[in-house]
Amino acid sequence: MPNSLAFLTMTLWPFVTLAMYLLLPARTAVIWSILAGYLLLPAGMTLDLPGVPGMTKQNVPAVFGYFFASAMLGRLIPLVPKSLAGRILVGLLLLGPVFTVVTNGDPVYIGNDTVLPGLRPYDAASMIVNQFGFLSIWALSREVLSDRTALRQLVTAFVIAFLWYSLPMLYEVRMSPQLHTQIYGFFPHSFQQMMRQGGFRPIVFLEHGLWIAILTSMAVMLAVVLARDAAPGRKLRWYAAAFYLLIVLVLCKSIAALLYAVLLMPMLLLFSGRRLAQIAMLMGVLVLTYPLLRSFDVIPTDSLVETAAEYSAERAQSLEFRFVNEDMLLSRAMQRPLFGWGGWGRNSVYDPQTGENISTTDGLWIIAMGYGGYAGFIGQFGLLLLPIFMLTGAYRRTGQEVSVFAAGVAVVLAVNLVDLLPNATITPVTWLFSGAMLGYLENLRRGEVGTGTAPAAAVPASARPRFSGLVGQPVAGPRTLV
**First-last CA distance in the chain:** 40
φ, ψ dihedrals at 355, nearest 5°: 80, 10
In the three-class reduction of DSSP (H, G, I as helix; E, B as strand; rest coil), residue 467 is classed as: strand
Position 344 scores a pLDDT of 85
| Angle between helix 273-295 and helix 364-398 axes, rounded to 10 deg | 150
Of 383, 390, 405, nearest to 444 (Cα)? 390
Is 433 within 8 Å of 386 (Cβ atoms)? no
Position 448 scores a pLDDT of 63
How many other C-beta atoms are found inside a 10 Å radius of the C-beta of residue 161?
Answer: 19
| Angle between helix 4-23 and helix 26-40 axes, rounded to 10 deg | 170
Position 361 scores a pLDDT of 85
Mean pLDDT by 10 residues, the chain (482 residues): 89 93 92 95 81 78 90 88 89 92 90 82 83 90 92 96 96 90 86 76 89 96 95 93 96 92 96 96 96 89 84 80 90 94 90 84 91 94 95 89 95 96 91 95 77 39 39 37 30
**Which residues, 6+ apart, have CB-to-CB distance to 324 below 8 Å?**
none
Is 86 within 8 Å of 78 (Cβ atoms)? no
| Angle between helix 26-40 and helix 60-73 axes, rounded to 10 deg | 170
117-145: b or e for each residue (b if 16 or more CB lie within 10 Å)?
eebeeebbebbbebbbbbbbbbbbbbbbb
With residue 365 as reference, give the H or E element that holds it. Answer: helix 364-398
Position 211 scores a pLDDT of 92
Position 53 scores a pLDDT of 65
Is 7 within 8 Å of 47 (Cβ atoms)? yes
Position 452 scores a pLDDT of 41
Task: Return the beta strands (E) in 284-336 as ranges.
Answer: none
Instruction: Write the DSSP assignment of 412-427 as a string of letters.
Output: HHHHHHHTTTTS----
Is 85 within 8 Å of 386 (Cβ atoms)? yes
Alpha-carbon torsion, ordered 418, 423, 428, 434, to 10 deg: 10
φ, ψ dihedrals at 209, nearest 5°: -60, -30
How many other C-beta atoms are found inside a 10 Å radius of the C-beta of residue 103?
Answer: 16
**HSE toward the beta carbon, residue 382, CA cutoff 13 A:** 17
Instruction: Write the DSSP assignment of 339-356 as a string of letters.
Output: T---STTTTS-B-TTT--
Q: For residues 169 and 212, what is the distance between their CA atoms, to the nearest angstrom?
A: 9
Position 467 scores a pLDDT of 37
β-pairing, 195-196 with 199-200?
A: antiparallel
Position 308 scores a pLDDT of 80
Beta bridge partners of 196: 199
